[in-house]
Structure 1
Amino acid sequence: MTALLSKTARVLLASLLAGCSLSAIAQTKVEDAWVRTSVPGQPSSGAFMRVTADSDSKLLSVSSPAAKDVQIHEMSMTNDVMRMGPVDSVALPAGKTVSLDPDGYHVMLMGLVKQIKEGDQVPLTLTVENDKGVRETIEVQAPARAMMEKMDMGHDHGAMK
């Protein structure tokens, strides 16, 4: 009887724990992640991707062993002057895809530890926090692409000249 009760209690406890942990885990999808190649001696590069969270969240940080310092930056135009600088986080509205691309938010890899060559796989670790304070870590292997390679960031660049 005790063994049966123990087994039942273990199954119930495991089910409860699994249910709790599954409901507490945020679900964020990262697509088309890539890193721009570099030339010998180049100190920095950029990483780009599309990020979609299933609940209101924010991208807090990105890290990578490929660089000494990794920051999330925003590119913006102010009075016809292009400005770029770090941000504390990037809002990820529920169900909306946010593009990190050269024209807006993007990831700066600074203090590259070695040249990034076409075909390299660059590991990136994203930290996302949902509106309930639950953090999620997402590991991504981002292929290195040549600077001039066509990007698929989910929008049409055909009208740009």
Structure 2
Amino acid sequence: MRTGDHASCPPPKTGEKVGDFLRRLRGEELKSAPTVTSAQLSLADTLNKKGEAAYHAKKLDEAVSLYLEAIANNPEHGQAYSNLGLAYQKLNRNAEALWANRKAIALASGPNTDTVKASSYFNIARVYENDGLWAEALDSYQSALGHKDHPAYRGGIEKMKQKLGQN
């Protein structure tokens, strides 16, 4: 498989863990501190953007494959993890959504750090809210708001406070 050729990128197997998929995709064991070339960084950004386009076209499985391929090229691509988490959430793969968003928060860096962290905390809050875990959702909405002001974050906080009887 050529790197960057997402058409030949095999989809994750049902139930396959992300790390196993990435190892299979790359054909090698992931290293704790991988060396990433500038070409891989550029390719990862391109794949992430293609994943965003697939996501907006409601091609969620394709988006997941593209985000995973972006991450395989740059394992520290925080935005790709955040996008992956959102796609997993839409596919009702909540455990994977939580994992990907937490990874995005841990990796967020650069000028978009607060945006990536805020959107990832928001995505986590939505998973918790959909599962009826109001206190956890409230905490995540508050964390999102702590990184960036947005009406959706404030609205989520108010809604969770109402659910918890805190208003």
> Which of the two has greater helix per residue?
2
> Which of the two has greater strand per residue?
1
The TM-score normalised by the length of structure 2 is: 0.24
Bigger CA radius of gyration: 1
Larger relative contact order, structure 1 or 2 (CA cutoff 8 Å, min sep 6): 1
